[in-house]
């Protein structure tokens, strides 16, 4: 079975959507392997978003991710990487489908960075890298 790294981003935590995101993960039949509320620092986030280094939204993204606590989770299940991204919906909440986490819960606030409630790893390689980064003891 696969594992993926899920983050409930600061907008999701601040707006009280932690329970709803975890409910959808559990309702789908996935298993929580690790779960933690934490404040991510600049170094962790720069590493987490290394693939976006140099893009104009990367610093606003890191600042947003430091604006409050996040919930980090390792989630396990058959094809969970693809499956969680399907639960999450597309990146831009304006067009994310209703029924998805972002389609239902995220708003376009017109800010410098897209605030879209959750993160999910996008490939087995990313998942392995991100899980090692956020949960080195696993």
How far apart CA 2 and CA 23 sit, in angstroms, is: 19
Q: Please give the distance of CA 21 from its chain centroid, rounded to a whole number.
A: 10
- Give the count of alpha carbons within 13 A of 85, CB side only: 14
The answer to whether 119 is a known catalytic residue is yes
User: Is 91 annotated among the ligand-binding residues?
Assistant: yes
Q: How far is the CB of 110 from Mg ion (least distance, A)?
A: 21
Q: How far is the CB of 16 from ligand GTP (least distance, A)?
A: 19
User: Is 90 annotated among the ligand-binding residues?
Assistant: no
Distance, first Cα to last Cα, the chain: 15
Residue 78 interacts with which of Mg ion, ligand GTP, none, CB < 5 to 8 Å by class: none
Binding residues (CB under 6 A) for ligand GTP: these are 57, 61, 91, 113-114, 116, 119-120, 122
Sign of CA dihedral 23, 28, 29, 33: negative
Residue 73 interacts with which of Mg ion, ligand GTP, none, CB < 5 to 8 Å by class: none
How far apart CA 53 and CA 56 sit, in angstroms, is: 9
- Closer to ligand GTP by Cβ: residue 58 or 137: 58
Q: Which 101-130 positions form the footprint of Mg ion (CB under 5 A)?
A: 122
User: Is 9 annotated among the ligand-binding residues?
Assistant: yes
Which residues are CB-contacts of 1 (< 8 A; sequence separation ≥ 6)? 76, 77, 78, 80
Residues annotated as binding site?
Answer: 9, 57, 85, 91, 102, 116
The residues carrying an active-site annotation are 119
Binding residues for ATP: 9, 57, 85, 91, 102, 116
């Amino acid at each position: 079975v696969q594992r993926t790294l899920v983050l409930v981003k600061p907008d999701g935590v601040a707006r009280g959507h932690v329970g709803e995101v975890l409910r959808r993960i559990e309702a789908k039949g996935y298993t929580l392997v690790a779960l933690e509320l934490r404040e991510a620092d600049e170094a962790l986030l720069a590493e987490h978003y290394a693939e976006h280094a140099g893009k104009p939204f990367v610093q606003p993204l890191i600042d947003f991710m430091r604006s409050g606590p996040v919930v980090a989770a390792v989630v396990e299940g058959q094809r969970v990487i693809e499956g969680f991204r399907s639960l999450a919906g597309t990146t831009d909440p304006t067009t994310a489908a209703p029924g998805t986490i972002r389609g239902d819960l995220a708003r376009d606030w017109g800010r410098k960075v897209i605030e879209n409630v959750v993160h999910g790893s996008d490939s087995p390689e990313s998942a392995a890298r991100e899980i090692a980064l956020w949960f080195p003891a696993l």
